[in-house]
Amino acid sequence: MDALTFDDYMLALLLTFLAGISTSIGAVLAFFSKAKNYKILSLGLGFSAGVMIYVSFAEILVKSKAAFLQIHHNEITAELLMLLCFFVGIGLSAFIDAAIPQDVNPHEPKSNSELNVLKPHTHASHAEHTLKRTGIFTALAIGIHNFPEGFATFTASLENTTLGLSIALAIAIHNIPEGMSISLPIYYSTQSKKKAFWYATLSGLAEPIGAVIGFFILFPLMQESTLAITFGMVAGIMIYISFDELLPASRIYGNAHTTILGITLGMAIMALSLVAFKTV
């Protein structure tokens, strides 16, 4: 990684912040959840998965292997270490996911019928407390999940601005339904749009917080080996997010056709943007 300036760090943090607070968009959309068509959201989630999958395999893992190769000067050793870090990243994400109770796990996407279940006419008044509890615990769960996502966005942005922009956009789109999953139960239990909005927004702020914590832990120790390990793990985190969250959610909000169209568009735009960056 080339010498970085203060502006580089601020831009990386800004992109991570913007990706995180897209939960606010989901919070607002939840107020209008009577709409029956979620195909645009399905397309967007597929697009995010396409971006993350392509960039993980075509760019980030390549950088991890190249960094290990500079240290060990042996291609097989470098590739094995890259793969080890990759699967550690997947394992870390899976561990965090498993630690969250299933009933408040933000990675259980909501279909339209499930969204309607959260509406007040389907609940007796005594269920309001349960709804609010669900919203609050979901906000905490999403906050925990957003820590590694924030670090992934921040690290990628420092390495390559185009890469960072693409990942920030993908994370932002994937945060929209998470914002909905927080906002809906809180809104319909308290009738307060303000509370619903702020709970969703605060959960998204975990991403820049994760970026800052990761920075203070890793970057003082930043050497070629640390960079290689970080990129390998970031790729694993993003692959887990894609296959565990984005693709299942895309299928529920739309169908197989919207999902594959989104994936293809995401991969194509990511590929073209990386080629364009290299020719500048």
Query: Is 146 marked as binding a ligand?
Result: yes
HEC profile of the chain = CCCCCHHHHHHHHHHHHHHHCCHHHHHHHHCCCCCCCCHHHHHHHHHHHHHHHHHHHHHHHHHHHHHHHHHHCCHHHHHHHHHHHHHHHHHHHHHHHHCCCHHHCCCCCCCHHHHHHCCHHHCCHHHHHHHHHHHHHHHHHHHHHHHHHHHHHHHHHHHCHHHHHHHHHHHHHHHHHHHHHHHHHHHHHHCCHHHHHHHHHHHHCHHHHHHHHHHHHHHHHCCHHHHHHHHHHHHHHHHHHHHHHHHHHHHHHCCHHHHHHHHHHHHHHHHHHHHHHHHC
Query: Is 178 marked as binding a ligand?
Result: yes
Q: Angle at CA 28, nearest 5°, toward 131 and 237?
A: 80
Query: Is 73 marked as binding a ligand?
Result: no
Query: Is 207 marked as binding a ligand?
Result: yes
Which residue ranges are tagged as binding site for Fe(2+)?
Answer: 146, 149, 175, 178, 207
Known binding positions for Zn(2+): 149, 174, 178
Known binding-site residue numbers: 146, 149, 174-175, 178, 207
